[in-house]
A = this chain, B = another copy of it.
Amino acid sequence: MSGTIRVMFEPEGKAAFVLPGSLALEAAARAGIIIDTPCGGRGTCGKCRVAVRDGCSPVNATERRILKPRDLAAGLRLACQARLLHDTTVTVPDASRFFEQRILTTGVHRATRLCPAVAKRAVRAPEPSLDAPRSDADRVLDALGGDGLRLDLGALRQLPAALRATDHHLTAVLHGGDVIALEPGDTAGRLFGVAFDIGTTTVVGSLLDLATGHEAAIAARTNPQVSYGDDVVARITYASEGDGLRELQAKIVECVNDILAELAAKAAVPAEAIYEMTMVGNTTMNHLLLALDPRHVAQIPFPAAVRGAVVVPAADLGIAIHPCGRLYTMPNIAGFVGGDTVGVILAADLPTRRKPTLAVDIGTNGEMVLGTRQRLVACSTAAGPAFEGARIRFGMRAADGAIEQVRFGDDVETSTIGDSAPRGLCGSALIDAVAELLRAGILDPSGRLRGPGELPRKLPRALRRRVVPGERGNDFILAHQAETSLGSPILLTQGDIRQVQLAKGAIRAGIEVLKKQFDVDDAGIDAILLAGGFGNFIRRRNALRIGLLPPVEHERIHFIGNAALVGAKMVLACTGYRAQADAASRETEYLELGGLPDFQHHFAEAMLFPESE
């Protein structure tokens, strides 16, 4: 679009297109890179160092206070302070990244930082002799020094050939006490795992190099179950009839396998080199992947079939990693708060927080957790998939051609993903647009789009001309026909506004109910951590303007990206996190909003927009 700049991120080599003046932090998020900002972007912690080549705002006083002259000379900047003005290149070191930060803080010793559940060990087994004609398995187990180790049937089947292919040198793939596979020769330096976030609407897979901890590739798809209904209740209904469960399971496995194939191709890593998959998802997605009957999740009192982590051979579900590989599903909390929320709890490190901290994961449902190291309470609201583009007339997922940012000046300014002509808008643009419409007085606090005759007198002419009568109430033209790739304008309708009200109202009402549980007011919340597939693209000021979040200083709002996926990566990269996940799953209290007498009251109130900033 006119006026956007191109920012290239290294070492990934990923580009993002943003409006000039965007923070390096925001642009990085747009490229899928989550920078760690423990201070909330206040410029006090100095964690978010990046190297910016040029095309950037001058070094400000905050940066001068935090960065040493040597750093400044090397081109280092704080991503929360540096605004990008022209096309440029930004290099993000590992130490500034959210996921790597989480992994790095695992233990005191650097050696403990990567400790995946699957591990490789290369050994040389002794050869058999007539005096000691011991079995292949016994000789290999001895070489592994394995007290209590056992070889799985799959490994036993590979054993005789693997052992003799390279003169009795081989590499064992271990999972707990099981040798799950064998490879000829020494392949210990080559080990991959994959972490999946299976959302109701979007499925994301991340390929991790478990030898280095680096992400080798990432890929996403729309959950193909969407065609069976766009929320979990519709999926449960479908799964409860006839062969529905098997059908939905086959669909998600197909999608997982498509993503696996894409990851394998992107990273040039064969799928057989992947020995473990971890998965987070809401309880229904969890049950559908495992082919567990989810029907009771939709019936009072909404019990899940299983809460705990499930570990099974991935091949049992048809998942196309190594045939002997394993699947670990993150434990759930309750029927409507699943392993994705446990992932957020881990990524946000909630169980160690001293002061009340709120994590909000905005997906098709809105799940939120408030708490401290003493107590965690979670709830779920049926926010609906509005922020993921569904139920919005021109809504779409954050993909190429989606308007992702909207700013009003004399006219509408937008940036589009992929820098192409837009074909719709995604969740972050939806929030931007609604906030700007409120500021401009085009939208009133009750959620009504004003008509051409009711607009504020000082409204710029270009904006005024975008308000047109629609099918129901008025519409706002976000992009004129000539600007889009659709052959039609992109509109924001009165119906779209109502969907935003429902979605943000549900989330906000949940937050209010949680606050009551802890008897804290807005000032008592130490931090709001915003997670979710699109969480990192939200402009905090706009989220506050529409009332999605309670009115707190925007420094208290932190973006933690797709924290559910980060949680899945954490349990993949370090098995020690699995005990933390289990504890979080057991100990987090679940609050059923439907069972609370005052929930409807909170919800009705939260649907309104704030009168002012």
Binding site for B on A (CB under 8 A): 128-130, 133-139, 150-151, 153, 156-157, 159-161, 164, 290-293, 295-296, 300-308, 310, 312, 316, 332, 334-335, 590, 592, 595
Contacts and interface: CB of A to CB of B under 8 A. Distances in A.
A137 B305 contact: yes
B290 A156 contact: yes
Contact of A592 (B130, B134, B296, B304): B130
A305 B156 CA distance: 7
B296 A160 contact: yes
A157 B293 contact: yes
Nearest to A138: B307
Contacts of A129: 301
Nearest to A128: B303
A332 B156 CA distance: 14
* Residue from A136, A151, A302, A332 whose CB has the most chain B CB atoms within 10 Å: A136
A161 B160 CA distance: 43
Given A128-B303, A135-B306, A153 B312 contact: yes
A383 to B, nearest CB: 20
Given A290-B153, A293-B161, A301 B128 contact: yes
23 contacts: A129-B301, A130-B595, A133-B302, A133-B303, A133-B334, A133-B335, A133-B592, A135-B304, A135-B308, A136-B304, A137-B306, A138-B307, A153-B290, A153-B310, A156-B290, A156-B305, A157-B291, A157-B292, A159-B305, A160-B292, A160-B296, A161-B293, A164-B296
B134 A307 contact: yes
State the 10 A-B residue pairs at the shortest beta-carbon distance, nearest first.
A135-B307, A128-B303, A133-B301, A135-B304, A137-B306, A130-B301, A160-B293, A130-B595, A136-B305, A153-B312
Nearest to A153: B312
Nearest to A311: B150
Nearest to A164: B296
Given A153-B312, A300-B130, A305 B160 contact: yes
B334 A151 contact: no
Contacts of A136: 296, 303-306
A135 B290 CA distance: 15
B332 A295 contact: no
Contacts of A138: 307-308
Contacts of A296: 136, 160, 164
Given A160-B295, A292-B160, A316-B153, A305 B135 contact: yes
A295 B159 CA distance: 12
A91 to B, nearest CB: 45
A310 B316 CA distance: 19
A134 B306 contact: no
A150 B296 CA distance: 21
Contact of A306 (B151, B291, B307): B151
Given A292-B157, A293-B161, A135 B590 contact: no
